[in-house]
Structure 1
Amino acid sequence: MPEGYRRLAALLGALTALGPLGVDMYLPAFPVMGADLAASPAAIQRTLATFLLGMAAGQLLFGPLADRYGRRPPLFGGLALFAAASLGCALAGSAESLAWLRLLQAIGGCAGAVVARAVVRDLCDERGAVRMMAMLMLVMGAAPILAPMLGSALLALFGWRSIFWVLAAYGATALLLVALALPESLPPERRHRGGPSEILAVYLQILRDRRFLAHALASALPMLGLFGYLVASPYVLMERHGLSPLAYGFAFGANAFGLILASQVVARLVRRVEPARLLVVALSACAVAGLLVPLAVATGALWPLLAALFLYLSVMGAVLPMASALAMQPMGRIAGSASAVIGTLQFSGGALVGVLLGALGGGSPWPMALLLAVAGSGGLLAHLALRR
């Protein structure tokens, strides 16, 4: 891949990392935030649920904007909103106000993911798109490795509010880099000029495409397990199993390393094997890994649980780039809207998971474990049913 594409992948990966950073960096601070804001664990978990809800709803807005006005202008607005809302989160005085600010933060941050996927579709063929998506995951995957450890360090040194000051600085820096280094990949003659009724028609067209849905659900359903892990793991691993915030950060980072490694293996394999065939193998492995998590929980020991989670999250690194690239490939000039549908399917499920686990979890590992089992199997079954 040319050096210019590597730089582009690094920038697009940094934009896609806005969501993971917004989630992962403050996870180790959940117990401290609850004590400082006089809020229950469920109230703090709702701040994550509202973030995921904003990531889901905001993409339906930015997708058509990216198809109509090009990739850069909507991205500028989204990054500015992300930075401003992050400042508001740093100054929040209650869990309720923090939840609303997290919603705005996510609406701004989701522009990075929508535009990144659309730019890849603008510039790459099918195999090239899988390799580019894998490179994005190499950059984006560093966020889950570094974010919890950075969040733990900031929490220890400066308190939980410093985490959101850092996120605001990241958003402002990303805005500057986009202005200086991201070219416009959608020329005016390829832009979609439809009004609101045509935007709705485009979304209906996308949702009626069985091939698109087969690949979109292949990423969205297994990601329910990923979001379940994000919501429940701070309480399951730190409060139930006694991990310190720093140890939790290292365990979280190990899982992210597995995700990165799997994505790079897929980037090499796809040069010799059809992506569609590889995706079925990866989804099968994801289903097996999901079923292992409840078995690990039944042992009551920490290490089997950590091993099962590592396997599930590593396989996600193989599933996501292939499923996203294959879903986007036939979308052409409506790539922004198609990217928005993928993101909305992923993050709306994540928001629902956040609410349900916040209400049912109570520190028990069983809701998380059963969710991973259902999510892993569901991705494979939905893909096979719709593909046929």
Structure 2
Amino acid sequence: MSVTPKPGLTVLLAGLAMFGPFAIDTMFPAFPAIAAEFGANDFAMQQTLSIYLVALAVMSLVHGPLSDALGRRPVVIGGVAVFTLASIGCALTWSIDSLWFFRALQGTCAGAGWIVARAIMRDLYQGPVVQRLMSNVSMLFTIAPALAPMIGGWVLLAGNWRWIFWFLALWGGLLLAASIWRLPESHPPERRLPLRVSALVGGYLDMLRHRQFWPLAIAGTMNFSAMFLYISSAPAFVVGLLKLGPQQFGWLFVPAVMGMFVGSLLSSRLAGRISVTSTISLGYGVMLVASLLNVTTALVLPHPRIPWSVLPIGLHAIGISLSFPSLTVLLLDRFPLHRGGASSLQAFVSLVFNAVLAGVVVVFVSGSALHLALGAATLTVVGFVAWRVFRYQTKQELLRDAGAAAAPAD
């Protein structure tokens, strides 16, 4: 097993982890133009996001086990190739219904890079090395949905909304070429598992029954969902509440990106110096303080204003990126023989929840800065409670193991 990640591989894995989340909301600045061309209402436009997320969630259950059975490399290359073709379809679409179809096709394959990249990292590296690498890659994974609308707005300035999807197709093509050229196969034939539906379902059921899966999955999901609530509400928050234009999404996303960068950098620097659990607990301390500041700001300001209404979001992002890599490592280590499947199931839980969040919850909370702040705070508290449940479970296991070891001596 390798000790030090190769720089070129790190960049490639980061790109693979980034393209699925990046495609979630690159099109946000183009919502008014697309709606006007196709005569679509706000609900129909919001479904371009939720349909993508549902497809991404369902197929996320397949990507990991496929890579466990066939190898990591063919799954990644196939997924990137289909994503590129689907992006071309979005660029050439002729109605809102056809856009939904190609967005669903994008979603079915976008998770291949993100999910399998995490399994590749855990295949190749261990200990503080994998925590640092996971932190660096997770930084790009988490900033992708935040950075995407800004890039979409810049592309929109250069041409019409279809150029955004041509940009995604170009990026997919570059990743495809890089994967064919440089992506190693980290899961050799002797370690592969047969792909059987009964075994697949049974493996997932075993994971779902594992008492520590749900606390870790819920903690990771809720943390990112607190940020995703703002990401998926970006058109309403930036244009409707902050009264800014399509090219000014940066007022929301620059603080988020900076916070995620700082959090991931801290996570990488702390790897090997303090324990994984201490890193996660520190992250929750930051998130809880940020949630309190966010709610207070929304209460004090009758109308949201920059920069005060976005600074707590940036602070919150630090805590998210500080804790997320370590939560992922803890979860994958619970299932050493099924890391691909565990990565898939974690992604499925997160994506299904975020699809509901984007398609339903956002409709009710995005019209008020206070409602958004309370929603994000609630998600953070639920994640913190799940983390404390996991800590309680591990302490109980340690006590049981200590008791079992002492029993023969008695």
Do both share a fold (TM > 0.5)? yes
Q: How far did 1:290 drift?
A: 2.6
- Further displaced range: 32-41 or 261-270: 32-41
Partner of 1:181: 182
C-alpha distance in 1 between matches for 2:296 and 2:34: 32
2:377 matches 1:373: yes
**SS of corresponding position for 1:324:** helix
Partner of 1:285: 286
Q: How far did 1:139 drift?
A: 4.0
**SS of corresponding position for 1:246:** coil
Please report the RMSD computed on the Cα atoms of aligned residues, expressed in angstroms: 2.0
C-alpha distance in 1 between matches for 2:253 and 2:354: 18
Structure 1 unpaired stretches of 5+: none
Q: Do 1:89 and 1:164's aligned partners in 2 also have CA atoms closer than 8 Å?
A: yes
2:331 matches 1:327: yes
Give the alignment's TM-score, normalised by structure 1. 0.94
Q: Do 2:215 and 2:387's aligned partners in 1 also have CA atoms closer than 8 Å?
A: yes
Partner of 2:216: 215
Partner of 2:205: 204
Partner of 1:82: 83
**SS of corresponding position for 2:233:** helix
- Further displaced range: 131-140 or 334-343: 131-140
* Structure 1 residues 120 and 212: CA distance shift in structure 2, 3 A: farther
Q: Do 1:218 and 1:380's aligned partners in 2 also have CA atoms closer than 8 Å?
A: yes
Q: Do 2:227 and 2:313's aligned partners in 1 also have CA atoms closer than 8 Å?
A: no
Partner of 2:313: 309
Counterpart AA for 2:363? A
1:352 aligned to which of 330, 349, 356: 356
Which structure would you say has the larger Rg?
2
C-alpha distance in 1 between matches for 2:260 and 2:37: 33
**SS of corresponding position for 1:247:** coil
**SS of corresponding position for 2:10:** helix
For these two proteins, the number of residue pairs brought into alignment is 388
C-alpha distance in 1 between matches for 2:88 and 2:369: 33
C-alpha distance in 2 between matches for 1:287 and 1:52: 27
C-alpha distance in 1 between matches for 2:355 and 2:256: 22
Partner of 1:52: 53
Cα deviation, 1:293-349, whole Å, max 9, x if unaligned, reads 332222233233211211122221112111111211232221100000111111111
Structure 2 unpaired stretches of 5+: 393-410
Q: Do 1:59 and 1:340's aligned partners in 2 also have CA atoms closer than 8 Å?
A: yes
Cα deviation, 1:229-248, whole Å, max 9, x if unaligned, reads 11112211212221122221
2:267 matches 1:266: yes
1:318 aligned to which of 306, 322, 325: 322
More helix by share: 1
Q: Do 2:216 and 2:386's aligned partners in 1 also have CA atoms closer than 8 Å?
A: no
Give the alignment's TM-score, normalised by structure 2. 0.89
C-alpha distance in 1 between matches for 2:19 and 2:55: 13
C-alpha distance in 2 between matches for 1:206 and 1:367: 35
Q: How far did 1:106 drift?
A: 1.2
Partner of 1:195: 196
Counterpart AA for 2:329? A
Counterpart AA for 2:135? A
Counterpart AA for 1:288? V
Partner of 1:38: 39
Structure 1 runs of 4+ with >4 Å offset = 1-4
